Structure 1
Amino acid sequence: MKDYKDLLEFKQVSRSLDDLNDTFSKLINIADQYNAADFILSNEYEFNNIVLYCYNKCQKNNDFINYAKNFGVIINYLENGDLFPSSDSKFKYRHNKTKRNSPNQDKRNLEIQLLGGDGIHNKAEEGIKPMTCSAGFWVSNGSQIFLASAGHCTLYGPYVKPPDDMSVDFLYLPWNSNNSVFYIGRMSIYSIIGSDKGYILKENDDRFNSVPAIRNSDDPDYPELPIVGDLPLSTRGAYLCKSGHTTHVTCGILHSFRAVQRVPGVPGNSTISTINDVWAARLISQKGDSGGPVFKFVLGEAGVRIVGMIVGAIKTINNISVSIFHPTDVISRRDNSSLMDLITVP
C-alpha cells in the first residue's frame, strides 16, 4: 500500500458495522411499536452512526425519539415540504361510464421524445388536485413498453371506480411548463408500501417515442444523455446525478446504502407506509422530481448508466439536501417476481 498511503485516511470509530446494523434494526422495530412516522432512518458510515431525519411534525412522536436518543443517534429536523402527500389526501374515483382517453385523441402529426426527467401529470378532473412527478426510464416486459416512475404519483388519482383495476391516467408535462396535454397511458401496476414504484403502460404509440435517454436541456452541448445500461453500486461516496421536472439535473454524493422512510399511510391500506430498500445521496430534489432517474457518468462511455429512481427528498433546517432513491434492481423487480428489462441505446 506504499503507493497509496498518501491517498488514504484512517479514522478511529466507536461503533462496528454490526453495532450499527443492530441499532438500525432495533429502531425500525421500535418505530412499529410506537406507530411512528414522518421520518427517514439512515445508516450512515460517514458519521459512524444512525441518522434520524425527522419532519417537524414528527416531534409529536416523543416516545420513539426519546428511545432513539438512548442510542446516541444523530437527529436532524427537517423543513416542511416533503415529496409525499399528507395522510388526509382526498381520493376520488372516476365512474368509468365512458371510454378512457383515446391514445389518438390528438391527430396532429407530432412525435414527442419522452425522456427520463420529463414531467408527468395525473389527469385533472373536477374536485381533484393533480400531482406532478417525473418520468424515470423506459422498460419492457415482453412486447409491452412501460415508463417507470414512483408509485406514490398515483395518490391523488383519479382512479377508475372499483371493481376496475384502480389505474390512473398520466399526461406529459414538459420542462418549464404547467400545461399537460398529451396522454401517455395508465399506471395500473404500482406499489406504495414496501417499495415505491410503478409502471405506466405506453398506450399513445402515435404520439410518444420511447427514447432511452435523460433530459438535460439546460446544457446546450448535451441536452440529451443516452442510457447505455444500468450500474450496480458498491462504493459510498460515488458521484451521482438525477434529472427531474422541478430542479432538472443536479448532482451529489451517495452516502448511505441502507435507509428506510416511514410516512402516513394511504386510507384503506395501512396506518403507516414503510418504504424499504432506499439509498440516500446528498443531491437536490424537490416536489415534482419524484420518479426521476438517478444516473452516473462512466469514463469512456458515450452515455450514462441508470443507478436508480427518486422516491423522496428532504431538506434539513441547517440547509442540507438529501434525496432518497430505489436502486435499479428494486425498480426492475415486479411483485410477481418477473423482471422488467431496461431499454437502452443500441
Structure 2
Amino acid sequence: MGYINSKINNIIIASCNETRNENSNAAFINAIRKYYPIFIYYNCFESSNNEIPSLKSYDIEDRILAGDGIRDYYGGICSVGFWARLQPNKNFIATAGHCDSSRSYYLIPWNSTPTALIGPMQDYYLEPIDFGLIYIENKDVQPIPSVRNTDSARYKELPITDIIPVSSNGAHLCLSGIESHVKCG
C-alpha cells in the first residue's frame, strides 16, 4: 500500500516483511526508488493456533466502505464517499448532493443486493459543490475508514490513513464507486 504523508511531504510505501522479496514486489520497489519513497515493513502474517473465535449474532454488523453503493427508496443508486463524524458519536457518510431523496438509504456492497438500512440524508448542496451527508442512524452499520477494492485478489480494502491536499495538475488520483469500482489515473 502506498500513500503520501502530508506532514513529511513524502511517499510512504507500506508492505509486508513476509512478501518483500517476491519478484513482483522487488520489481515495483526498484521501479519507484527514483522517487525516494520511505519504505515501512510490517509483520502481516501472524502465527495461528488454529482456533476460530466464537461469534455471537450480535457481533455481526454491516460494514460500509468508501466506494460502496447506496440505494434510495425509489431505486436510485449512488456511491458512498468518505466517513464523517460529528462528535461525540454521530456518524455520517458523504455522497453527491444530487442523490438527495426524501427517504432513507440502504447499503449496497459491490456485486450485491441492498442490505442494511443506513438512514436519511441530513443535508445536501448542489452549489457550489455537489455534496450530501447521510446520517447513519442504524447502529448495526459500521463506517470503516477504507476504500472498497474487492475486485483485487490481494488488496480488497485500501485503508485511509491520512489526508493530503491535491495542489497540482497531473496528480495521480484514484476513485472508487459502485459502478466504476477502483480506477486510477
TM-score (norm 1): 0.35
Give the CA deviation at 1:188.
2.1
Give the CA deviation at 1:113.
1.4
Give the CA deviation at 1:233.
1.3
CA contact (8 A) 2:62 2:116 kept: no
Q: Name the counterpart of 1:132.
A: 77
Query: What are the within-5 Å matches in structure 2 for residues 173-252 of structure 1?
Result: 173-177=108-112, 179-205=113-139, 207-252=140-185
Give the CA deviation at 1:193.
2.7
Give the CA deviation at 1:191.
0.9
Deviation readout 1:163-190 (Å, 9 max, x if unpaired): xxxxx3110012113x213100110211
Q: Name the counterpart of 2:48.
A: none
Aligned amino acid, residue 150 of structure 1:
A
CA radius of gyration, larger in: 1
Aligned to 1:185, the other structure's residue is in SS state strand
Aligned amino acid, residue 202 of structure 1:
I
Aligned amino acid, residue 148 of structure 1:
A
Deviation readout 1:85-136 (Å, 9 max, x if unpaired): xxxxxxxxxxxxxxxxxxxxxxx64311110000101023xxxxx2100111
Deviation readout 1:25-58 (Å, 9 max, x if unpaired): xxxxxxxxxxxxxxxxxxxxxxxxxxxxxxxxxx
Taking the aligned partners of 1:220 and 1:210, their CA distance within structure 2 comes to: 23
Aligned amino acid, residue 118 of structure 2:
I
Taking the aligned partners of 2:174 and 2:127, their CA distance within structure 1 comes to: 26
Q: Please identify runs of 4+ aligned residues in structure 1 that moved more than 4 A.
A: none
Q: In the alignment, which of 73, 79, 94 is matched to residue 148 of structure 1?
A: 94
Taking the aligned partners of 2:147 and 2:122, their CA distance within structure 1 comes to: 24
Query: Paired residues, what number?
Result: 127
Structure 2 unmatched runs, 5+: 1-56
Taking the aligned partners of 1:219 and 1:181, their CA distance within structure 2 comes to: 22
Aligned amino acid, residue 183 of structure 1:
L
Aligned to 1:239, the other structure's residue is in SS state coil
Taking the aligned partners of 2:64 and 2:80, their CA distance within structure 1 comes to: 8
Deviation readout 1:122-151 (Å, 9 max, x if unpaired): 023xxxxx2100111111122211111111
CA contact (8 A) 2:105 2:120 kept: yes
Query: What are the within-5 Å matches in structure 2 for residues 1-346 of structure 1?
Result: 109=58, 110-124=60-74, 130-143=75-88, 144-154=90-100, 157=101, 159=102, 168-177=103-112, 179-205=113-139, 207-252=140-185
Aligned amino acid, residue 165 of structure 2:
P
CA contact (8 A) 2:116 2:141 kept: no
Taking the aligned partners of 2:182 and 2:115, their CA distance within structure 1 comes to: 24
Q: Name the counterpart of 1:90.
A: none
Taking the aligned partners of 1:142 and 1:227, their CA distance within structure 2 comes to: 20
Aligned to 1:211, the other structure's residue is in SS state strand
Give the CA deviation at 1:237.
0.9
Structure 1 unmatched runs, 5+: 1-107, 125-129, 160-167, 253-346
Aligned to 2:155, the other structure's residue is in SS state coil
* RMSD between superposed Cα atoms in Å: 1.4
TM-score (norm 2): 0.65
Aligned to 1:114, the other structure's residue is in SS state strand
Give the CA deviation at 1:202.
1.0
Give the CA deviation at 1:208.
1.2
